[in-house]
């Protein structure tokens, strides 16, 4: 075994242990959304995923938009245990690989210490692992994993991995499609940096996107949703987007703005980005601006807020860690200080979780 491979294995084991410790703590202190909890018997999102996992081929469970998110309930249907155990395993595995991939992705830009700080902050956010361990029936655990894998592939210009992760991501939840503008912009910026433009780069990017778009359309052609549960986007925009979201903005609703910012991202992800240099903000906006606009555009058709916004966690982490890095360099603060702060933040979130949720 050569030294480089040995170092990689030791690092992987070390990071795996850290991720598992976080997940075990969160899981231990998080109740599951299962009977006899009264809300379980409502026909909310979980109800449809459970029905799909019981028998994914029954026409009566084809309720839009849930019926198109087939991967998670299909895996649960294939697994040999009871549904609670199956969905819990999927959630645990999804969040485990999300943490591992997130570490290696962040390490492309920052030191190992800041990369660990990043995954600590990720696991501290209430609407990442905490909420989706509780509501284990939802598809976000796998969707987050494919989002991070898409960003890793974009960073490496590995279009094969991107095509693979987008394909499976579309079958998990449509939000993974929002990574497409990041891919196109990233490839364009790389060509611009090299002062070269070749049509093959653009064509290769389109080829990487194509499998995801094909499966998106195919699933919607094959699966015909129950007409009783109509899903009319224009109606949703009018009822939710205009009558709730737009009016909240016009009224300068403080509670709504709080939920869309600190309520979703927490203090750390809202504070440290402001320590960035102007050029860092500009670069972030160029690469991830459209992605984040698409993330926030979901509020026009979704009744939830934090639940849908949290899928934009990676650009927020990137911007916060960039601010921390600049602060560390300019003020000569050891990066370990920020790691300790993130761990204390995780502990505070745990205490708040036990007291109020």
pLDDT score at 233: 78
List the domain range (segments joined by +) for residue 88.
3-356
Residue-wise DSSP of 151-192: HHHHHHT-HHHHHHHHHHHHHH-GGGGGGHHHHHHHHHHHHH
Res 327 pLDDT > 90: yes
pLDDT score at 196: 66
pLDDT score at 139: 95
- Closest Cα partner for 86 from 62, 114, 120, 50? 50
Gap between the Cα atoms of 245 and 128, Å rounded: 23
Locus of tokens 């910026």: 189
What does the longest C-alpha to C-alpha distance in the chain come to?
64
Res 63 pLDDT > 90: no
pLDDT score at 96: 98
Helix axes 83-106, 45-54, angle to 10 degrees: 110
pLDDT score at 59: 58
Gap between the Cα atoms of 119 and 191, Å rounded: 31
Q: Which two tokens stand for residue 88?
A: 């819990």
pLDDT digits over 155-214, tens only? Answer: 999 999 999 999 999 999 999 999 999 999 998 888 877 666 666 677 888 899 999 999
Q: How many domains does the chain have?
A: 1
């Amino acid at each position: 075994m050569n030294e480089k491979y040995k170092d990689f294995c030791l690092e992987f084991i070390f990071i795996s242990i850290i991720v598992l410790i976080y997940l075990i703590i969160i899981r231990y202190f998080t109740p599951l959304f299962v009977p006899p909890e009264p809300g379980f018997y409502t026909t909310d999102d979980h109800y449809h995923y459970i029905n799909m996992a019981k028998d994914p081929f029954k026409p009566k469970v084809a309720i839009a938009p849930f019926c198109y998110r087939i991967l998670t309930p299909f895996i649960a249907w294939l697994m040999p245990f009871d549904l609670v155990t199956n969905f819990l395993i999927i959630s645990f595995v999804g969040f485990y690989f999300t943490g591992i991939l997130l570490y290696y992705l962040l390490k492309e830009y920052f030191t190992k210490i800041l990369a660990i700080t990043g995954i600590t902050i990720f696991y501290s956010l209430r609407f990442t692992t905490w909420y989706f361990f509780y509501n284990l029936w939802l598809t976000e655990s796998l969707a987050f994993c494919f989002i991070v894998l898409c960003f890793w592939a974009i960073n490496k210009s590995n279009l094969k991995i991107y095509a693979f992760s987008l394909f499976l991501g579309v079958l998990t939840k449509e939000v993974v499609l929002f990574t497409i503008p990041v891919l196109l912009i990233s490839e364009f910026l790389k060509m611009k940096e090299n002062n070269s433009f070749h049509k093959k780069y653009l064509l290769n990017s389109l080829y990487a996107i194509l499998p995801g778009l094909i499966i998106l359309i195919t699933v919607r052609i094959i699966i015909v949703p129950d007409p009783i549960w109509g899903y009319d986007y224009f109606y949703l925009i009018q009822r939710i987007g205009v009558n709730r979201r737009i009016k909240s903005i016009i009224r300068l609703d403080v509670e709504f703005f709080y939920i869309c910012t600190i309520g979703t991202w927490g203090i750390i992800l809202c504070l440290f980005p402001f320590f960035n240099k102007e050029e860092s903000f500009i670069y972030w906006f160029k690469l991830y601006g459209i992605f984040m606009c698409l993330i926030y555009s979901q509020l026009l058709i979704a009744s939830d807020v934090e639940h849908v916004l949290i899928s934009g966690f990676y650009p927020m982490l990137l911007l916060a860690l960039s601010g921390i890095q600049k602060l560390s360099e300019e003020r000569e603060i050891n990066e370990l200080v920020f790691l300790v702060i993130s761990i204390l933040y995780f502990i505070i979130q745990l205490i708040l979780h036990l007291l109020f949720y």
